[in-house]
Structure formats: C-alpha cells, structure tokens
C-alpha cells in the first residue's frame, strides 16, 4: 500500500531543495509556493499515484497528466518578487519532472 503522506513529505523536501538551488534569495516565498502547489495538487496526485501503483495508469499516462497540470502551477509569491514569467515557466518544467521522479521512485 502506498503511504501518500510519506510521498508528500518527500516531495516537499525535494521541492524545497530545488527552489533553494534556483531561488535561494527568496526562501520564504519559495516555501509559500511549495505549500500552495502541494495543497492544490494533493487530491489529484494521490489519486493518480494510486492508479499508477495499481497498474491502471502507465508511467507515460502519469507523466502526461502531470504535464497537463503545469499551467495550474501558480508561483504567485515568486512572481510577486519579480521573477520573470519565462524563468518561472522553465522552473515549472523542473518542478513537474521532480514530482514525476519522486512519485515514480515510491511506486516502482
């Protein structure tokens, strides 16, 4: 059985590290954005993770679903402090890839 709370905790830790590497000068803003991303995505991520673990979703389907959510990732706090939309767009790709890699690691 998948322990989704453990996955969420790991996602938060890994995403914090990712944000610190890219936007270390905006630590508090990064924490706010990560919390918001995980809060907004929690139900979908949990459902998709369970479907993936049960073999009802392929890795490709799971990745496609995550990528489809990219536009819903709002990094409001970072945008407010002046991080460009282009930079945030590239960073969203890294966030999606990180989420994919972490969940894949727990499931397989």
Q: Tens digits of per-residue pLDDT, 50-89?
A: 999 999 999 999 999 999 988 878 778 788 888 888 888 8
Give the H or E element holding residue 20.
helix 4-23
Query: What residues contact 55, with CB distance under 8 A and at least 6 apart?
Result: none
Look up the pTM and report it: 0.89
Q: Where are the domains of the chain?
A: 26-107
Contact 96, 69 (CB under 8 A): yes
pLDDT for 49 equals 97
Residues 2-41 pLDDT 10s: 899 999 999 999 999 998 888 888 878 888 888 888 999 9
- For the chain, where are the alpha helices, taking DSSP H only? 4-23, 27-53, 59-68, 76-80, 85-107
pLDDT for 58 equals 97
Rg (CA), the chain: 14
Query: What residues contact 105, with CB distance under 8 A and at least 6 apart?
Result: none
């Amino acid at each position: 059985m998948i322990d989704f709370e453990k996955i969420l905790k790991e996602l938060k830790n890994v995403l914090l590290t990712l944000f610190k590497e890219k936007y270390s000068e905006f630590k508090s803003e990064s924490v706010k954005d990560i919390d918001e991303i995980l809060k907004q995505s929690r139900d979908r991520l949990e459902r998709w993770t369970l479907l993936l673990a049960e073999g009802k979703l392929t890795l490709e389907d799971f990745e496609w679903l995550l990528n489809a959510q990219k536009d819903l990732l709002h990094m409001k706090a970072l945008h407010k402090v002046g991080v460009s939309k282009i930079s945030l767009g590239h960073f969203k790709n890294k966030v999606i890839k990180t989420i994919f890699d972490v969940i894949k690691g727990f499931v397989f």
